[in-house]
Amino acid sequence: MDGRGFLCGSLSIPSPSNSSFSHESLSRSLYFLNSQVHLPKRLSQFQPLPVLRLRCGNAQEMVTPEPSVSTPISDYHHIDQKLLQNMVYDALVWSSLHGLLIGDKSVEGSGRVPGVGLVHAPFALLPTSFPESYWRQACDLAPIFNELVDRVSLDGKFLQDALSRTKKADEFTSRLLDIHSKMLELNKKEEIRLGLHRSDYMLDEQNKSLLQIEMNTVSSSFAGLGSIVTELHRNIISHHGKLLGLDPGRIPVNTGASEFAETLAKAWCEYNNPRAVIMFVIQAEERNMYDQHWLSVVLRERHHITTIRKTLAEIDQEGELLPDGTLSLDGQPIAVIYFRAGYTPVDYPSESEWRARLMMEQSSAVKCPSISYHLVGTKKVQQELAKANVLERFLENKDDIAKLRECFAGLWSLDDSDIVRKAIESPELFVMKPQREGGGNNIYGDAVRESLLKLQQAGCEENAAYILMQRIFPANSTTYITRNGYCQKDQTISELGIFGAYLRNKDKVIVNGQSGYLMRTKVSSSDEGGVAAGFAVLDSVYLM
């Protein structure tokens, strides 16, 4: 959704430029603002900042001004304290009014009840500089990766073979493979295939290249809040840009929320049952619910489609698989299943959740993702696809294959004894990755050596639960990180995620393109990078 600006009339709010300004006075002001100002029912009546658009592959992005009109966002020392306070204050008010929100973990019920315990999502005060050539490269890769995921998903033997040893070492992957095997035995065909993906990249400073970190095929988060933080940055720069020497036109349009919702709506149309609804599969406690609710709002207000939110346990209790394959919850048919849960073992505390997953997979509902799409996103499959001559199994276009290979970082199985030896000798050059999603799972530094030595003692079967990846070393930059109302300057590194949407009905490709982006920035001393996991902040791109 586009961010909008509100006029507060003559409402008196203490100015941050006042010498008596404090975080306490800001909190009181925001409380007063929320209680006194009656906001419009629909944000969409406000006009966004004007933009110009051009095609980047299948993506829309900003037409940037000539290079002479802008400077890199790299030197923050010239920002005086008064200007900084004004920007922070404006950003916090804007975020509160425009839904850049998450649940406050210190408030009970904030992950279950909407409107309880709201706090602004952590964000960078200003966008991060990013070279335009690499931005275009990342956008151009999105439709190729979308097509690759679809092609690989159809090769059941490849997926089973690639993950056969992982199945023995990792119980969670084993259960997913069991469901996939049952679908193969039933010869279950997914004629309507839907993918909402996110491919994550970093710029390697040593090799001056854009390298892929991972391909997310399940619960690709922050299309909603990522779109809003982009509008926040355009708003801040439009008001303060002259003092900073910055141009809001250099921030690419971010249409993640609207394009994800539109693709979900098109999948609903392809299912062709006007009575059916779209079901969001959610975790019982979800502080990031507002990122999801933005998609629901667009689906309801723009496409007039009803959405419901259910946990896996609720689906098991309320769900029924009808003889014709329809999934029904309390008599309500489900057209599209959008997973925002089910990607981690924590989401399956009992057999109830696994029964729900199998029932959904057996149904005729459009699944985002299907079990095969889910498996394509595993670390082991990513490593297998990086092997010589494997991409040629799925793609014919040599230029597309070359583009994919150019962005592949080094990826190795722990069966490679030479690489394992090098990783033990120089653990700082590698990342050790398990088959897990959601942040906080990877192994870095000396822990890589320790983990590899333990695995050698345990035996080779345990190796299959992990892969080794080349560690990427991006350049440091300076960022004002804003979290819980406080802003501090720190040295940071950033990770660019490009959203991709794919929808196919039999032989007809309905959607295939780049669908917005997510920039995440973290303190350079931190290894992990998840926003929801508390390691990073939401950011956006400033093209250079």
Any known ligand binding at 214? yes
Q: Give the integer Cα–Cα distance in Å for 307 and 299.
A: 8
Dihedral of CA 8/10/13/17: which sign?
A: positive
Any known ligand binding at 342? yes
Alpha helices in 52-130 (DSSP H): 81-98
Dump strand ranges (E) for 324-406.
Answer: 327-329, 332-339, 366-368
Any known ligand binding at 522? yes
In this structure, which amino acid lies at residue 343? Y
Strand partners, 432: 443, 468
Among residues 93, 342, 116, 365, the alpha carbon closest in space to that of 232 is found at 93
DSSP class of 47: P
Q: Is 522 helix (H, G, I), strand (E, B) or coil?
A: strand
pLDDT at residue number 411: 95
Any known ligand binding at 4? no
* Cβ atoms of residues 257 and 294 within 8 Å: yes
Q: Which helix (H) or strand (E) holds 374?
A: helix 371-376
pLDDT at residue number 439: 63
Contacts of 155 (CB under 8 A, 6+ apart): 393, 394
Q: Give the integer Cα–Cα distance in Å for 290 and 283.
A: 13
Alpha helices in 154-219 (DSSP H): 156-162, 164-169, 171-185
In this structure, which amino acid lies at residue 220? S
Any known ligand binding at 444? yes
Among residues 214, 196, 306, the alpha carbon closest in space to that of 259 is found at 196
In this structure, which amino acid lies at residue 508? K
Any known ligand binding at 476? no
Alpha helices in 426-540 (DSSP H): 446-458
Among residues 380, 383, 361, the alpha carbon closest in space to that of 371 is found at 361
* Cβ atoms of residues 270 and 505 within 8 Å: yes
Taking CA 296 as the corner, what is the angle to CA 293 and CA 300, rounded to the nearest 5 degrees? 140
Any known ligand binding at 117? no
Contacts of 106 (CB under 8 A, 6+ apart): 117
Any known ligand binding at 288? yes
Q: Give the integer Cα–Cα distance in Å for 88 and 85.
A: 5
**Phi/psi of residue 291, each to 5°?**
-60, -40
Any known ligand binding at 272? no
Q: Which two tokens stand for residue 306?
A: 């009803």
Any known ligand binding at 219? yes
Q: Give the integer Cα–Cα distance in Å for 407 and 499.
A: 16
pLDDT at residue number 118: 96
Residues involved in catalysis: 198, 214, 216, 221, 379, 433, 437-438, 520
pLDDT at residue number 535: 77
* Cβ atoms of residues 322 and 346 within 8 Å: no
Any known ligand binding at 472? yes
Q: Residues 327-363, buried b or exposed e (16+ Cβ, 10 A)?
A: bbbeeebbbbbbbbbbbeeebbeeeebbbbbbebbbb
Q: Is 288 exposed, middle or buried (0-12, 13-18, 19+ CB in 10 A)?
A: buried
pLDDT at residue number 73: 61
> How would you write 202-260 as a 3-class SS string?
EEECCCCEEEEEEEECCCCCCHHHHHHHHHHHHHHHHHHHHHHCCCHHHCCCCCHHHHH
pTM value is: 0.85
Any known ligand binding at 341? yes
The total number of residues shown for the chain amounts to 544
Q: What is the separation of C-alpha 505 from the centre of its chain, rounded to a whole number of angstroms?
A: 25
Q: Kindly give the confidence (pLDDT) of every residue in the chain, 544 residues in length, as a single tens digit, with 9 standing for 90 and above.
A: 333 333 333 323 333 333 333 333 333 333 323 333 333 333 333 233 333 232 333 333 333 333 333 455 656 657 889 999 999 999 999 999 999 999 999 999 999 999 999 999 999 999 999 999 999 999 999 999 999 999 999 999 999 999 999 999 899 999 999 999 999 999 999 999 999 999 999 999 988 999 999 999 999 999 999 999 999 999 999 999 888 889 999 999 999 999 999 999 999 999 999 999 999 999 999 999 999 999 999 999 999 999 999 999 999 999 999 999 999 998 999 999 999 999 999 999 999 999 999 999 999 999 999 999 999 999 999 999 999 999 999 999 999 999 999 999 999 999 899 999 999 999 999 999 987 776 668 899 999 999 999 988 877 677 788 999 999 999 999 999 999 999 999 999 999 999 999 999 999 999 999 999 999 999 988 766 567 656 799 999 999 9
Any known ligand binding at 273? no
Any known ligand binding at 224? no
* Cβ atoms of residues 114 and 289 within 8 Å: yes
Dump strand ranges (E) for 285-331.
Answer: 307-310, 319-321, 327-329
